[in-house]
Structure 1
């Protein structure tokens, strides 16, 4: 899946989308609440047909409300998967540069060793987007792929690394985590895409209706 966790973070980390995680549990209270349905009928004439005219909308008020409900449920499910499976590194920093700067600002040998071990044992080492970063790190440390299977040698090289090499270290770790758990990224991407698509239907319906009203008003007064 070509969508990374950092890309999904632009949606999943926003307060409005995060709030949709409650929709699968409380959304039905909104759908079956007559008062809310009445509040959403801001312009009743949009859905009303007469002897001389048809309704301006293609969707009635109740159907629009149901579509909004299902859209928010899909977004809520996507957000739940995002919150559970998105790596903490990605949640804490929007890009590799910010993450690296945060780590270097409070650097310790133990943090460097933990990052190095996380890279050495990472399940995503063979991902196409991470291979070049890993190769660059190994080259800077004068190591080869074979040394990834030698904890003592790899950790010694990490312990003796220079600051510039540690920048590469944290950048590599961020990249590996950014493309981790492909199935979860795919699920979140699908749920977000489906949710926003369904949400677009009632939005476009109201837009075209109000646009026709405005166009008719301009035509009658021109």
Structure 2
């Protein structure tokens, strides 16, 4: 409802009749003056704090409504989202969620270079989400048909049968020291090239069997996406709440002075 404040604030908050009524009420209950202004000045100051505080909250709410992912707006809690998705999950729906996760991963490619070993993670794909995604991809790879039951052919035959000439069979997936390159696997799954179809389909089939993990990671990735947008929304909310808190802070300070410093109200 704070989104409506900029439009109705002038009609309601600054309505002369409402200000006069509230002024009479404050005349009755006011007993801790913060300074020596008149009652009218007191009321005007409160209305300004209320209006501008709600205005900034309204702007923040509007930006959140526009830019926040639909899944996050509908299901802010990850448990609710997973429960909802699990109740309607199909193979195609799970695959779409995994594609969404892979897309977010790849869009953060420049900032994190797709692997924690290569630099700081993206602010829109933080290390916690990145680490969980890498662990999930590794688990999916180990469980995949491609990893458990590779084609019964020599490496040279595999290379020519499953991949085009010049495409290495294992060199792109494992480092020379034997570490799995999950970032390369993600790139292959996201690109979904025709010559990679056997590998990609086996990876997706394995991931679909772990649909809840897919939904959890998708929600976490969406919740952390668009760092700049989240920062702007937080700034508006912080400014709005700070302005609304000013009258409360002043009254609290006056009460503390009266109680502990012996100053008469």
TM > 0.5 fold call? yes
Residue 185 of structure 1 pairs with residue 230 of structure 2: yes
Closer/same/farther in 2, CA of residues 155 and 197 from structure 1, 3 Å limit: farther
Give the distance between the partners of 1:203 and 1:131, measured in 2 at CA. 42
Identify the residue that residue 196 of structure 1 maps to in structure 2: 241
TM-score (norm 1): 0.74
Mapping for residues 39-58 of structure 1, pairs under 5 Å: 39-41=21-23, 42-44=25-27, 46=30, 54=36
Closer/same/farther in 2, CA of residues 77 and 30 from structure 1, 3 Å limit: same
Q: Is the contact between residue 148 and residue 154 of structure 1 (CA under 8 Å) also seen in structure 2?
A: no
Mapping for residues 12-23 of structure 1, pairs under 5 Å: 19-23=1-5
SS of the aligned residue for 1:121 comes to helix
Residue 87 of structure 1 pairs with residue 69 of structure 2: yes
Deviation at 1:110, TM superposition (A): 0.6
Deviation at 1:175, TM superposition (A): 1.0
In the comparison of the two structures, how many residue pairs are matched? Answer: 192
Q: Is the contact between residue 20 and residue 75 of structure 1 (CA under 8 Å) also seen in structure 2?
A: yes
Give the distance between the partners of 1:112 and 1:147, measured in 2 at CA. 18
Give the distance between the partners of 2:38 and 2:200, measured in 1 at CA. 69
Mapping for residues 169-180 of structure 1, pairs under 5 Å: 169-180=214-225
Give the distance between the partners of 2:92 and 2:131, measured in 1 at CA. 25
Unmatched tracts of structure 1, length 5 or more: 1-18, 216-222
Identify the residue that residue 185 of structure 2 maps to in structure 1: 147
Mapping for residues 1-222 of structure 1, pairs under 5 Å: 19-41=1-23, 42-44=25-27, 46=30, 54=36, 60-122=42-104, 123-124=107-108, 126=112, 127=125, 128-142=127-141, 144-150=182-188, 151=192, 152=197, 153-161=199-207, 163=209, 165-206=210-251, 211=255
Does 172-181 or 117-126 show the bigger shift?
117-126
Give the distance between the partners of 2:63 and 2:69, measured in 1 at CA. 11
Deviation at 1:180, TM superposition (A): 0.4
Give the distance between the partners of 1:154 and 1:120, measured in 2 at CA. 13
Once superposed, what is the RMSD of the aligned Cα atoms? 3.1
Deviation at 1:54, TM superposition (A): 4.4
Spell out, residue by residue over 1:185-213, the C-alpha distance to the aligned partner (whole angstroms, 9 max, x if none): 0011111111011001123345566x59x
Closer/same/farther in 2, CA of residues 71 and 62 from structure 1, 3 Å limit: same
Q: Is the contact between residue 31 and residue 65 of structure 1 (CA under 8 Å) also seen in structure 2?
A: yes
Deviation at 1:92, TM superposition (A): 2.1
SS of the aligned residue for 1:60 comes to helix
